[in-house]
Structure 1
Amino acid sequence: MSDSRPPLAGKASQDTLASLLELEPMPMPDSPLPTPPAVSGTDKELPALPAESTGSGLGSLSGAQHSHTRSVSAAEKGTTSALGLSQGHGSIYYLSRIQRYSSYAFTIFSSVHLATASLIPLATRSVPASESYLLLAREIYQTRVSEPLLVFVPIVAHVAAGAGLRLVRQSQNRRRYGGASRQGRGAGKSTWPSLSWISASGYVFAVTIAAHVAVNRLLPMAVQGDSSDIGLAYIAHGFARHPLLAWLSYGVFLGAASGHMVWGWARWLGVAQRASWLGPDTALETKPVQKRRRRTWLVIQGGVLLAFCAWVSGGLGVVARGGPVQGWVAKVYDELYDKALLL
């Protein structure tokens, strides 16, 4: 019986899956592979978790990598459907836009209110002489249409979007790191995102502005059915009757409002991201970078101080010193403040 096996050949085999003759040349150590650019942006969601693959070998690995790449690309760029609706954006994207655009509407109201409640009293140096300007401004922001659009809806939307962002990010952190942190060395570490100074001042601002609206707008409407008699004299009467509580509450209110709004606008304009005094990476930065960051931080803090002075110069410097009113109006105001203290 003859041997039908082919003779051994002293040449490279062409029957293997990856022949040595077909290998791609590898880069030399002095020419490193280029690294992809980092993706920036604070309102992008984390990439989707890679799906578990049931296959094995090179085909399974390449399929998982291809699926993960497509999920990251869709999360970052998004697509557009035939109806023109955006697809691929998650809840963080939409909540961030609600939070941003609601602050635009509220800025219109706060600018008009700053002029009538502080700057005009500072110019006239008189509470009675400033009341007519306040009544005129109410025709802009206290109608049935403008008040919800410029005051109530933006406030509720802004606060709800901020709280929603924290819940969504905490949920993402828990899905990705919660199980590992409970089993590893990071056991017990919270998955809640860190609370920034902008967020902290925003929550204080939300509480104080809710109290301000309740005392000056909602309570008079509930007791008298109208708030047309509520103006700068009402604020001055409250400072005269309850000075300690009024000065403390308005000081915290205006301080939180100034800090949150100035830093918030600096963030929308992309300036706050480049400002820090003692950040976590300060020791790793060069001296010029540290100086630029601290200079930007000082500029923003100067804007906060300027906004605070603009509010208190007329609001606390003139209106708060206006003194109590007399006659039957004083009895009406006293009744309202007594009910407010019981709340």
Structure 2
Amino acid sequence: MDSDSLRTKGSQETLASLMQLDPSPIESPRLNTEKALPPLPEHDEDLEPLVKSRSRSATGVGLSGSHGAAYYLTRIQRYSSYTFSLFAGLHLATTSIIPLVAQSVPSSESYLLLAREIYQTPLSEPLLVGLPVVAHVGSGLVLRFLRRQHNVRRYWGAYGADLRSGWPQFSYIAASGYGFAVALAAHVFVNRGLPLAVEGDSANIGLAYVAHGFVRHRLTSWAAYTALLGLGCGHMIWGWAKWFGLAQGAGWKLERHTGNATADRQTKKKRRRRLLIINAVVVVATAVWAAGGLGVVARGGETPGWVGRLYDGLYARIPGF
């Protein structure tokens, strides 16, 4: 091997040779910017094939974005409760809070009549009260049948099942909802449907009509309105807690044990605390509504004269009164 090939040059000689080079910029290939670009699509229809192809490639098999009946029924049940809650809040103010502040039934009647101009017109009454209630209750019933059908197909298959099998768990929210629907239907019949059927309108129906009923039919009125307030406040507040994701984590016992005693203890405390908070809100809301409705309106006294006789004639047509 040649000894000169193994001889290395000093670093100073290499550095000096590099310093003698003149710097020059790196030349990049020149782009032809004078070439015209293809025209953009003039209409949205030209983009549809591209959008559809991208959506198909992004979703993949089994993720087409389509939803079943349960998806839409759940949203109907949810959004209908929003609309009815607007009416319930306005009705709470005029039948409980204002009488509680005024401490007088006659002084509160004008506010109730004013509120009726909002929720008792030919357009607003079906939109705020009628349709939301029918949609909410109807979607809940259909959802229950759909889930039962799904459970039967999943666990019984071709063998089928009897009518008692496959039903989803009957929760407190569902039980209070069905009870509230019955109490609400009775309330609407007495205060709205019956006057329309007998008198042709409900212009003479107000807080005095309710107070007159408490005098003439004390036990029935107290039982009916106590059930209406208790079931209504319980169902609506627990329902809102469910929409906000709070009801799912509330309970007195653990649904699942992790095996970690410390984690299970903390989870149990959190569930119990959430349960107590939601029930406390239910108690407060029921107490506020009852303070004005049962504490003031129910003690408003009997209505004298021809209006009182009109009220007696209406109550006489109610079965069981």
User: TM-score, normalised on structure 1?
Assistant: 0.72
Residue aligning to 1:231: 206
Corresponding residue for residue 274 of structure 2: 296
Amino acid at match of 1:324: E
Instruction: Note closer, same or farther for the CA distance 1:299–1:181 as it changes in structure 2 (3 Å cut).
Output: farther
The reply on whether 1:190 has 2:165 as its aligned counterpart is yes
Query: Which whole-Å deviations, capped at 9, do the CAs of 1:12-66 have from their partners, x for residues lacking one?
Result: xxxxxxxxxxxxxxxxxxxxxxxxxxxxxxxxxxxxxxxxxxxxxxxxxxxxxxx
Task: Show CA shifts across 1:112-157 (max 9, x none).
Answer: 0000000000000000000000001101100111100000000000
- Cα distance change of structure 1 residues 244 and 159 upon mapping to structure 2, 3 Å threshold: same
Residues 297-328 of structure 1, C-alpha deviation per residue, up to 9 Å, x if partnerless? 11100110011011100000000001110010
Aligned counterpart, 2:85: 107
Residue 181 (structure 2) aligns with: 206
CA contact (8 A) 2:151 2:167 kept: yes
Give unmatched runs, 5+ long, in structure 1: 1-68, 79-87
Q: Distance in 1 between matches of 2:86 and 2:104?
A: 25
Alignment counterpart, residue 61 of structure 2, candidates 70, 76, 81: 70
1:200 to partner: Cα distance:
0.3
Q: Rg: which structure is higher?
A: 2
- CA-CA distance at 1:174 after TM superposition: 1.1
Gaps of 5+ in 2: 1-59
User: Is residue 217–residue 227 contact of structure 1 (8 Å, CA) maintained in 2?
Assistant: yes
1:122 aligns with 2:121: no
Comparing 263-272 with 284-293, greater Cα deviation is found at 284-293
| Residue of structure 1 in register with 2:293 after alignment | 315
Shift in CA distance, 189/125, structure 1 to aligned 2, threshold 3 Å? closer
**Distance across 1 between alignment mates of 2:130 and 2:200:** 19
Deviations along 1:266-292, one digit per CA (max 9) or x if unpaired, are: 000111111111354369661011101
Q: The residue matched to 2:204 in structure 1 has which SS?
A: coil
Please state how far the C-alpha of 1:170 moved relative to its aligned partner. 0.7
SS in 1 for 2:156: helix
1:282 and 1:290 in contact (8 A); partners too? no
Does residue 138 of the first structure (1) align with residue 116 of the second (2)? yes
The one-letter amino acid paired with 2:61 is R
Instruction: For 2:304 and 2:114, locate their aligned partners in 1 and report how far apart those are by CA, in whole Å.
Output: 24
Within the alignment, does 1:258 sit opposite 2:233 as a pair?
yes
1:331 and 2:306 matched: no
Letter in 2 for 1:310: V
Counterpart position of 1:216: 191
In 2, Cα distance between equivalents of 1:189 and 1:128: 52
* Cα separation, partners in 2 of 1:221 and 1:182, compared to 1, 3 Å: closer
Show the counterpart of 1:276: 251
1:150 equivalent in structure 2: 128
| Structure 1 residue 179, shift from structure 2 partner | 3.4
* Count of aligned pairs: 259
Q: Is the 8 A contact 2:254 2:268 kept in 1?
A: no
User: Structure 1, residues 61-96: CA drift from partner, whole Å, max 9, x if none?
Assistant: xxxxxxxx934x34xxx1xxxxxxxxx100000000
**Which residue of structure 1 lines up, in the alignment, with residue 20 of structure 2?**
none
Structure 2 distance, partners of 1:224, 1:188, is: 45
Report the secondary structure of 2:318's partner residue.
helix
Distance 1:282 1:232, change over 3 A: farther
- SS of 2:319 mapped into structure 1: helix
CA contact (8 A) 2:152 2:160 kept: no
Q: Partners in 2 of 1:282 and 1:315 — Cα distance?
A: 45
Distance 2:279 2:114 in 1: 33
RMSD across aligned C-alpha pairs, in angstroms? 2.0
Tell me how far apart the structure 2 counterparts of residues 93 and 278 of structure 1 sit (CA, whole Å).
Answer: 29
Query: Relative to 1, partners in 2 of residues 1:259 and 1:279: Cα closer, same or farther, differing over 3 Å?
Result: farther
Structure holding more helix per residue: 2
Q: Secondary structure at the match of 2:205?
A: coil
Q: Deviations for 1:171-199, whole angstroms, at most 9, x for unmatched residues? A: 1111111238879xxx9972011110000
Query: Which one-letter code corresponds to 2:281 in the other structure?
Result: G
